[in-house]
């Protein structure tokens, strides 16, 4: 009985801290996925079945990148819708995670204007500007992306320095 109790506790603790244990790999595949469909597949695989906010955000991004690499316009639209739905679920799970907000911002910013699913750009931009932290593990990527963003004014970009 003692062994089962200890095993149960170990499993619970590992499960609680396991998600997302592969953050470095998620980030790496995310950065390559725009131009590499193999990275999209890897990102989909890494996030399959994950329910934490960050994994969901990366899964949403993977769906959006899948749309970019697909030829069929109807499939592209379906993939974008699925991606944005998944990204919005991630933000609902943890609206204070700057990386989740950044992923949604970067995806929405790059959706063609004919697709009207970019309703969170201002909200996410402001959250990122107000909460960016130099100690965050993805800080340099977030800052670098925001510095080249067409949705930030010069004054907003200067806040990042």
- Give pLDDT tens digits for 32-88: 999 999 999 999 999 999 999 999 999 999 999 999 999 999 999 999 999 999 999
- pLDDT for 153 equals 96
Burial class (CB in 10 A: 0-12, 13-18, 19+), 133: exposed
Tokens of 57: 């955000």
In whole angstroms, what is the distance from residue 61 CA to residue 51 CA? 15
pLDDT greater than 90 at residue 114: no
Q: To the nearest whole percent, how much of the chain has pLDDT over 70? A: 86
**Confidence (pTM):** 0.85
Q: What is the DSSP letter of 80?
A: H
List the domain boundaries for the chain.
23-159
pLDDT greater than 50 at residue 12: no
- pLDDT for 19 equals 46
CA torsion sign, 32 to 22 to 59 to 120?
negative
Compute the average pLDDT of residues 26-35. Answer: 95
- pLDDT for 2 equals 53
pLDDT greater than 90 at residue 9: no
């Amino acid at each position: 009985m003692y062994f089962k109790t200890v095993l149960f506790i170990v499993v619970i603790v590992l499960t609680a801290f396991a998600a997302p244990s592969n953050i470095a790999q998620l980030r790496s595949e995310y950065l390559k996925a725009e131009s590499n469909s193999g990275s999209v597949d890897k990102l989909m695989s890494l996030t399959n079945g994950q329910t934490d906010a960050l994994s969901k955000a990366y899964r949403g991004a993977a769906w959006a990148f899948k749309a970019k690499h697909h030829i069929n316009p109807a499939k592209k639209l379906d993939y974008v819708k699925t991606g944005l739905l998944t990204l919005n679920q991630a933000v609902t799970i943890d609206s204070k995670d700057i990386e989740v907000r950044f992923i949604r911002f970067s995806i929405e910013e790059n959706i063609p204007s004919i697709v009207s699913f970019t309703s969170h750009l201002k909200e996410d931009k402001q959250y990122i500007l107000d909460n960016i932290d130099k100690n965050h593990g993805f800080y340099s990527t977030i800052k670098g992306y925001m510095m080249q963003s067409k949705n930030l004014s010069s004054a907003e970009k200067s806040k990042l320095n």
